């Protein structure tokens, strides 16, 4: 790897219980996986969901998915709690963390885009693990329960993770989910088969996936959109199951894990920003 930088995205379903509450064991396991990667000398930017789930647990509520302001209140309450858990779990291994809250506008505006890149770069130089999430208080895109295009919606942070990877010229994006990867049909169907490698995201492939996960706001459709952005920019992307032991190390060791999307392009930094910023 050129830069040794990996962007790891952890979605809602990988951090929560079936009822939507935060699962600290899952969270601690994911942190442990990332720590092993850091100890190998890689740099990691973690893109995380979970603020709404943390806030729901703290407030003892279960907001209507259509009540955006209520969900924003949950996110505002839960974000600091989420970060306190990350600070504790990473701190046990001797690593410090930093919170980065972004909106679509932060990456669309060239000045704020450059400032964001500079801060992330400095944090990585200092050995700090940047933890990125969308700022749900000022941006409602991630909270709207409707599938939209990547230009206006981070979609449970799937798109955010690849935009960050583009901005920082990362070597790899790993999206950790509650499924093993991309399947030929619904993974719950016994006839479904895992697709280990995708040469290119095609219109036919996009039509194959429908719907969204029960807890997350992304689903496989937006993961494909994220993969398309990453691979067209020259960055490979892997979708894998967060419950698999050593999942990150196995991916880095070149083992067949999840679904690997091959890079098909190689845009310059400025072209990446123009295309996807």
**pLDDT by residue (tens digit) across 43-71?**
999 999 999 999 998 999 886 777 889 98
| pTM, two decimal places | 0.88
Q: Is the pLDDT of residue 130 over 80?
A: yes
The mean per-residue pLDDT over the stretch 254-273 comes to 78
Q: How far apart are CA 231 and CA 263, in angstroms?
A: 4
Q: Is the pLDDT of residue 8 over 90?
A: yes
Residue 203's pLDDT band, with cuts at 50, 70 and 90, is: confident
Domains in the chain, number: 1
**pLDDT by residue (tens digit) across 144-176?**
544 333 344 455 699 999 999 999 999 999 999
> CA 173, 174, 175, 181 torsion: positive or negative?
positive
What residues make up the domain containing 161? 5-276
Q: Can you give the CATH number for the domain in which 118 is found? A: 3.40.1160.10
């Amino acid at each position: 790897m050129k830069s040794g930088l990996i962007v790891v995205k952890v979605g809602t379903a990988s951090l929560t219980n079936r009822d939507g509450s935060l699962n600290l064991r899952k969270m601690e396991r994911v942190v442990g996986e990332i720590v092993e990667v850091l100890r190998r000398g890689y740099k990691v930017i973690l893109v995380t969901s979970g603020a709404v789930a943390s806030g729901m647990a703290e407030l003892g509520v279960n907001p209507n998915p259509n009540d955006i302001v209520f969900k924003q209140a949950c996110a505002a309450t839960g974000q600091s709690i989420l970060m306190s858990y990350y600070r504790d779990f990473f701190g046990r291994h001797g690593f410090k963390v930093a919170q980065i809250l972004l909106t679509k506008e932060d990456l669309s505006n060239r000045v704020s885009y450059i400032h964001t890149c500079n801060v992330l770069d400095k944090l990585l130089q200092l050995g700090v693990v940047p933890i990125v999430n969308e700022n749900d208080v000022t941006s409602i895109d991630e909270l709207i329960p409707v599938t939209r295009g990547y230009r206006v919606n981070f979609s449970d942070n799937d798109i955010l993770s690849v935009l960050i990877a583009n901005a920082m010229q990362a070597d790899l994006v790993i999206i950790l989910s509650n499924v093993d990867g991309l399947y030929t049909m619904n993974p719950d169907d016994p006839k479904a088969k895992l697709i280990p490698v995708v040469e290119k995201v095609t219109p036919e492939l996009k039509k194959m996936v429908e719907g969204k996960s029960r807890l997350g706001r992304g689903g496989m459709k937006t993961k494909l959109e994220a993969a398309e952005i990453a691979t067209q920019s020259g960055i490979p992307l892997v979708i894998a199951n967060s419950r698999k032991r050593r999942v990150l190390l196995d991916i880095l060791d070149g083992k067949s894990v999840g679904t690997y999307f091959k890079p098909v392009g190689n845009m310059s930094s400025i072209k990446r920003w123009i295309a996807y910023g």
